[in-house]
Amino acid sequence: MYENEKKLYEAKAHILKALAHPTRLYMAEQLLHGEKCVCEFVREIDADISTISKHLSILKEAGIVSDEKRGKQVFYHLKTPCILQFTECAVDIIKSNLKERSSLMTRIQVEKET
Amino acid sequence: MYENEKKLYEAKAHILKALAHPTRLYMAEQLLHGEKCVCEFVREIDADISTISKHLSILKEAGIVSDEKRGKQVFYHLKTPCILQFTECAVDIIKSNLKERSSLMTRIQVEKET
DNA sequence: TTGTCATTTGGTAAAATTACCAAGTATGGG
DNA sequence: CCCATACTTGGTAATTTTACCAAATGACAA
């Protein structure tokens, strides 16, 4: 029964949810190349610094990243890089969706014309 | 610049978002064992059938599952099982979060008591 | 055709997410 | 000590998500 395992699914979904935002996904992927301070994200992302800080705190709360204050700066670090392994498969899905949707478009076009 | 790659991050986040709900994650994982009709999910999950149907349609729209009508029933099928590979890593994160948070609790206890 | 089973769709209220601004905290320099 | 820099936090409005009920659709059976 799903009810028994619900807590585990909630925990897993919570982690996915933290990653399921374009900006947060970008941040996590950037951290694959090494730690970054908030100020670096601020330079790259066109959003208010408070928005960026909140996105990072969501990743942190989910346990995906950790932070460390050094001087005036706060550095974020990817704790568990394996969580980003889904990327390759996601790209496959995106490509397959594009294919299916473009062939659907063609079908609609053809149906219109005939 | 993030702005250039934004479309790709949005597409990837869209797929994650579809999975980032306990019920939808459960459904996708169940489909690892083979296709299932909506009625089977209805038996397992304590939610309105319309809610279950809508969750399935979100997974379908994201390109994670496909559906096929056979007789009166609609069968759902996992198109790209690799998208669920993150699970193992997610469990690692959950365990590590539990450890950190329980040690935090202990620390708070200790601080209170001393 | 009429009914029934299996599922989807439309509508809606409640809850959650998001982004911004403004104000607060912490650190190091002068 | 005072100030600037680097962030975080609180407040809030707009948007999105979620779940339910009710009604619609589609397939088969009588």
Mean pLDDT of B1-14: 86
Contact A89/B83, CB-based, under 8 Å?
Answer: yes
Give the nearest chain A residue to B7 (CA atoms).
A22
pLDDT in the model for residue A68: 98
Torsion of CA A87, A88, A89, A93, to 10 degrees: 90
Q: Which CATH architecture has domain A1-79?
A: Orthogonal Bundle (1.10)
> In this model, does residue A109 exceed pLDDT 90?
no
Name A residues 20-79 whose Cβ lies under 7 Å from strand D: 37-39, 42, 49-50, 53-54, 56-57, 67, 72-75
> In this model, does residue A104 exceed pLDDT 90?
no
Best to test chain A binding among B30, B40, B93 (most A CBs inside 10 Å): B93
Rounded Cα gap, residues B70 and B76, in angstroms? 11
Q: How confident is the model at residue B85 (pLDDT cuts 50, 70, 90)?
A: very high
Of A87, A84, A91, nearest to A32 by C-alpha is A84
> In this model, does residue A71 exceed pLDDT 90?
yes
Give the nearest partner residue to B85 out of A12, A89, A91, using CB atoms: A89
Mean pLDDT of B5-10: 94
Q: Are B78 and A78 in contact (CB under 8 A)?
A: no
pLDDT in tens, B18-70: 999 999 999 999 999 999 999 999 999 999 999 999 999 999 999 999 999 99
> In this model, does residue A106 exceed pLDDT 80?
no
Neighbouring CB atoms inside 10 A of B57's CB total: 13
Query: What's the DSSP call for residue A72?
Result: T
User: What average pLDDT is seen over chain A?
Assistant: 92
Name B residues 70-109 whose Cβ lies under 7 Å from strand D: 71-72
pLDDT in the model for residue A25: 98
In chain B, where the domains are located? 2-79, 83-114
Position B10, amino acid: E
Q: Are B49 and B2 in contact (CB under 8 A)?
A: no
User: What average pLDDT is seen over chain B?
Assistant: 92
Q: How confident is the model at residue A72 (pLDDT cuts 50, 70, 90)?
A: very high
Per CATH, the number for B2-79 is 1.10.10.10
B60 part of contact set with chain A, CB < 8 Å: no
| Nucleotides, chain C, CB distance < 7 Å | 5-11, 17-23, 26-28
In this structure, the strands spanning B65-70 and A73-78 are unpaired
Q: How confident is the model at residue B106 (pLDDT cuts 50, 70, 90)?
A: confident
Residues in Cβ contact with A2 at an 8 Å cutoff, skipping those fewer than 6 apart: A9, B23, B26, B44, B45, B46
Position B63, amino acid: G
pLDDT in tens, A16-37: 999 999 999 999 999 999 999 9
Rounded Cα gap, residues A42 and B100, in angstroms? 29
Mean pLDDT of B71-96: 97
